[in-house]
Amino acid sequence: MRMANEIVQLLVQSAGSWLFEGHRSGLSDREWMALRFLALANRFSKTPTALADFLGTTRSAASQIAAVLLEKGLVVRKSSAEDKRSITLCITREGEKFLERDPINALRDQLVTLEVSDLSRLRDTLRRVLVRLDVAERRHHTDVCNQCMFLVENGGGKDRHFKCRLFRKSIAEKETTLLCTYFEARS
């Protein structure tokens, strides 16, 4: 228990470097979370509903957060290519530039100095902890496509291609590393 408390304290300290800063960088913590999510989300998860699911909030609250990002020119609304009745929230060039100043980059820059084996263990351990937390809280877990049971890989070499069985859509290999709110872990 003592080590678990120490780890929690270290996580809180690391969060202090990029969270709880109020509007010092021009965005609230929730707005930063939304912008980061939209920058890392796959095309199926760039909707107001998916954003609300990721933030663990109502669609109305997520829409208010999106409105701030729209007002600041960091995101734009586009008609969904998949369903014309839906909208997609896309990061603008200004949003990409803004993310270069993201306070969380300092933590990322320290992480990249670790050995690959340490990074892999840390990633896998944090993933297991987050999955358990989501299960305990009855939240839907968001994760990357390449860990999802719906991802199907066919072919090899130059003929290699991917498909999401849930959406019945082909997806590019680069999309397999993006976040999806419809994620289901492989058994």
**pLDDT class of 21 with cuts at 50, 70, 90:** low
In a domain, 126, yes or no: no
Residue 152 maps to a domain: no
**Domain annotation covers residue 103:** yes
Residue 58 belongs to a domain: yes
* Structural domain includes residue 181: no
> Is 31 within a domain?
yes
The burial class, CB within 10 Å (0-12 / 13-18 / 19+), for 138 is exposed
Distance CA 59, CA 47 (A): 10
Residue 132 structure tokens = 């358990």
Residue 67 belongs to some domain of the structure: yes
pLDDT, position 82: 66
Given a cut of 80, whether residue 35 has pLDDT beyond it is yes
- Which residue, among 63, 41, 61, has the nearest Cα to 142 in the 3D structure? 41
Give the count of domains, the chain.
1
pLDDT in tens, 159-178: 789 999 999 999 999 999 99
| Confidence (pLDDT) at 154 | 87
Q: Is the pLDDT of residue 28 over 70?
A: yes
Boundaries of domain holding 62: 2-113
Is residue 90 within 8 Å of 41, Cβ to Cβ?
A: no
Looking at residue 40, which CATH number applies to its domain? 1.10.10.10
Distance linking the first and last C-alpha atoms of the chain: 29
CB neighbours of 68 closer than 8 A, spacing ≥ 6? 27, 28, 31
Tell me the angle at which helices 29-40 and 93-100 cross, rounded to the nearest 10 degrees. 120
Cβ atoms 109, 100 nearer than 8 A:
no
Tens digit of pLDDT for each residue in 102-138? 888 888 898 899 999 999 999 899 888 888 887 777 7
Joined together, the tokens standing for residue 130 give 């987050």
Q: Does a structural domain hold residue 187?
A: no
